[in-house]
A and B are shown apart, each in its own frame.
Chain A
Amino acid sequence: MVEERLDATFAALADPTRRGMLAQLSAGERSIGALAEPYRMSFAGAAKHVAVLERAGLIERRKAGRQQLCRLRAAPLAEAEAWLRQWQRFWGESLDRLEALIAEEKERTR
C-alpha cells in the first residue's frame, strides 16, 4: 500500500513538466490555467498532469468560482521542520548555558 503510493509519487515526479508545476506551486496556489501557461499546453493537457500529481498526494485542488485552484500539500513538511527546529533550539540553549558556565569558571580561576 505504502509502496504503491510511493510508486505513484516517483512516477509523478519523473516528468519535468510536473516538477515544474510543483515548483510553481511552492510559491503559492495556482489555477490549472496558470500552471499550463509556461508550457504552451492546453487546459486539458495541464489537467492531466494535475490529476497525476493529485493522485500521488503531492497536491490538492479546490473549486474557486469557475476556476480550480491547486496547491502543494506541504503541511507535513512544514510541521516536521518546525518540530526539528524546536529541538535544535532546545539543545542549543543548553549548550549556550554550558558555554557561559565554563566561561564564568575561567574568569573566576584567572
Chain B
Amino acid sequence: MTQPIAAGRTVTLTRHFAATPERLFDAWLDPSDVRRFLFATPGGEMVTVEIDPHVGGDALIVERRGDEEALHRLHYEMIERPRRLVFLFNACVAGGPVADEWTRVTVDIAPEGDGARLTLIHEGVWSDFEDKTREGWTMILASLADL
C-alpha cells in the first residue's frame, strides 16, 4: 500500500467498555461482530464482510443503504492483540467517484477499572482541506475565538 496518507486533522474518540481488552480487541477482527457494529447504519443491510486478519491483509465491508452500497476498505498495518490495531481506511460509494485517499485508523485498548478504555484515532480525515494554507486559516480563525 503506497498511497500516502492525506495530510489533515485528526479525529479522536475515547470510550470505556465493560469488557476485557481481549474481548474488545477481537470484536474488530471477528466477522460476526464486525457485521453487527462496524459501519452498520440503521436500516442498512450488511452484504459483505470479508476480513483477512493479518498484517498486510485486507478487509472489505459493504453495507447496502437503500439504492447505494457503501464500501469500506481496510488494510491492516499492525495487529497487536489486545493492545493495538492499526489499519488504513478508505470509504466510498459503489459506482461513485473512486476515493483514492487513504486515511489511517489506530485503535488503542488499555485496561481501565474492571473493563477497558478504547481510544480511536483517525488521521487524515481532512482530505478536502489538504491545502496547508487553508489549514492555516482555519487554525487562525479558530484561535480568534480565544482572543
Contact = CB atoms under 8 A, between A and B. Distances in A.
Answer yes or no: do A and B interact: yes
B47 interface: no
B54 to A, nearest CB: 22
B11 A91 contact: yes
Given A77-B138, A84-B125, A94 B144 contact: no
A102 interface: yes
Interface in A1-54: 2, 5-6, 9, 13, 19, 22-23, 26
Interface in A45-104: 57-58, 72-74, 76-77, 79-80, 83-84, 87-88, 91-95, 97-103
Q: Which of A57, A73, A100, A101 has the most CB atoms of chain B within a 10 A radius of its CB?
A: A101
Contacts of A6: 133, 136
B38 A94 contact: yes
Interface residues of A: mostly helix, strand, loop or mixed?
A: helix
A103 B19 CA distance: 9
A80 B120 contact: no
Given A26-B144, A101-B27, A76 B129 contact: yes
Interface of B: 9, 11, 13, 15, 17-19, 23-24, 27, 33, 36-41, 118, 120, 122, 125-126, 128-129, 132-134, 136-138, 140-142, 144-145, 147
Given A22-B147, A102-B24, A102-B27, 16 more contacts: A2-B136, A23-B144, A58-B140, A77-B141, A80-B126, A80-B129, A80-B134, A87-B11, A92-B13, A94-B37, A97-B40, A99-B15, A100-B37, A101-B36, A102-B18, A106-B19
16 contacts: A22-B144, A23-B147, A80-B126, A80-B129, A80-B134, A83-B126, A84-B126, A87-B125, A91-B120, A94-B39, A95-B15, A98-B38, A99-B17, A102-B19, A102-B24, A102-B27
Interface of A: 2, 5-6, 9, 13, 19, 22-23, 26, 57-58, 72-74, 76-77, 79-80, 83-84, 87-88, 91-95, 97-103, 106
